[in-house]
Structure 1
């Protein structure tokens, strides 16, 4: 598995490279220290996984991830941060990154990379706890809905949204048309009184962890 590591602290980059390359099937194919390094490096190397810091000088890892995903919709990006900032978590969910972990939680990084590689979306325990602060207070009543208030198909769609899949990916995996997927998402937003796909993902993780 080819991995690219981007962090503005060379000590962190070196430590991550050392940790990752203990795994016989992991190769750190490139490193960088800025958002621009991440974008340029991804274009050149197109790694299987991009492991990237968020705060890196003037431009954040969030901005870099957004740019990369716009060019490479199937990019697998796992963000690392020391900051439990609800706004960062919201933005990460919104653009479709595949994971968001606290940087100090080194033991979780390798399992997280393997999970992302297998198609899962990964959020550390502290991140999931922080999700509870993101939904606006007037929207929290929607979380009172129990799983049996949604149909099996609605839960299928909700799970795919929470995994960060776009409409095309959901349609392909569930053998539906993109129009049908859009309709289901609109119905879910209305049924749960939520605003957007980000809040759908947050709703799923709140139910999952209750």
Structure 2
């Protein structure tokens, strides 16, 4: 059974998650904390206090979840950090993934937590559907951009950083080499997709037509063996953190 730690400034959240995950046999809860400073102290008290996964909130009094995760990952780069928060701000998401977090979930449905923990243990990066919407700019569909279809619509759904139509992990050496082998313009487009810009914004930033951007993205997806721009966004984040 995986061992986890839960960090949230709301004791009720910690207690509820601990009860549910323990009762269902999904995980053993080693310890809980209600602020980032205490979480760092608890994590490094003894090696036995290192959880398999640290489930942590973003905003907390004193030391934030982001700062706590940064301190923990600096000392223990192998730490698995999964954010569980009410904040879906793109800036928070970008900071979390840049730090090396293994996932980012929005507090919508407790039933999504256990599968996410299992996916992280399997070496995958897990992003909630609302998080993916921030990263891939689903609102662009209203502008006639149909390259962003095939995304989950229910907030409790998650997408892992594994190819949807295969089991090759998205952070494989082959994926990194494929990204590095692309021309500079294609890499720039892929990076902007990962930052959540739609085709219109990408075109404006790179002085290209929307049609050119759309065609370029299709070519990139084909070259990397991806089904949609969500997978491209996750691949880029996972290989550039």
CA gap of 1:201–1:86, structure 2 versus 1, over 3 A, is: closer
Is 1:6 the counterpart of 2:7? The answer is yes
- 5+ residue gaps in structure 2? 138-146, 149-166, 198-216, 218-225, 234-241
Indicate the residue corresponding to 1:139 in structure 2: none
Question: CA-atom RMSD, angstroms?
Answer: 3.6
Contact 2:190 2:232 in 1 (8 A): no
* Separation in 2, partners of 1:19, 1:81: 17
Is 1:123 the counterpart of 2:146? The answer is no
Contact 2:44 2:50 in 1 (8 A): yes
CA gap of 1:89–1:200, structure 2 versus 1, over 3 A, is: closer
Contact 1:94 1:198 in 2 (8 A): no
* Separation in 2, partners of 1:102, 1:49: 17
- 5+ residue gaps in structure 1? 134-142, 145-155, 161-169, 175-180
Is 1:76 the counterpart of 2:77? The answer is no
Contact 2:4 2:28 in 1 (8 A): yes
Give the number of the structure whose residues are more often helix, by fraction.
1
* Separation in 2, partners of 1:56, 1:66: 15
* Separation in 1, partners of 2:16, 2:22: 10
Indicate the residue corresponding to 1:34 in structure 2: 35
Matched residue of 2:67: which SS? helix
Indicate the residue corresponding to 2:187 in structure 1: 192
* Separation in 1, partners of 2:183, 2:109: 34
Is 1:22 the counterpart of 2:39? The answer is no
Alignment length (residue pairs): 175
Matched residue of 2:82: which SS? strand
CA gap of 1:94–1:201, structure 2 versus 1, over 3 A, is: farther
- After TM superposition, the runs of 4+ consecutive aligned structure 1 residues lying more than 4 A away are 183-189, 194-198, 200-205
* Separation in 2, partners of 1:201, 1:186: 21
Deviation at 1:132, TM superposition (A): 2.4
Contact 2:37 2:62 in 1 (8 A): no
Contact 1:116 1:122 in 2 (8 A): yes
Deviations 1:155-208 (A, max 9, x none): x99920xxxxxxxxx55xx6xxxxxx6x76544582321596994899987343
Matched residue of 1:21: which SS? helix
CA gap of 1:55–1:195, structure 2 versus 1, over 3 A, is: same
Is 1:110 the counterpart of 2:111? The answer is no
CA gap of 1:16–1:121, structure 2 versus 1, over 3 A, is: same
Indicate the residue corresponding to 1:159 in structure 2: 170
Deviations 1:90-110 (A, max 9, x none): 111111100110113211000
* Separation in 2, partners of 1:31, 1:197: 37
Is 1:208 the counterpart of 2:212? The answer is no
* Separation in 2, partners of 1:6, 1:97: 15
Matched residue of 1:123: which SS? strand
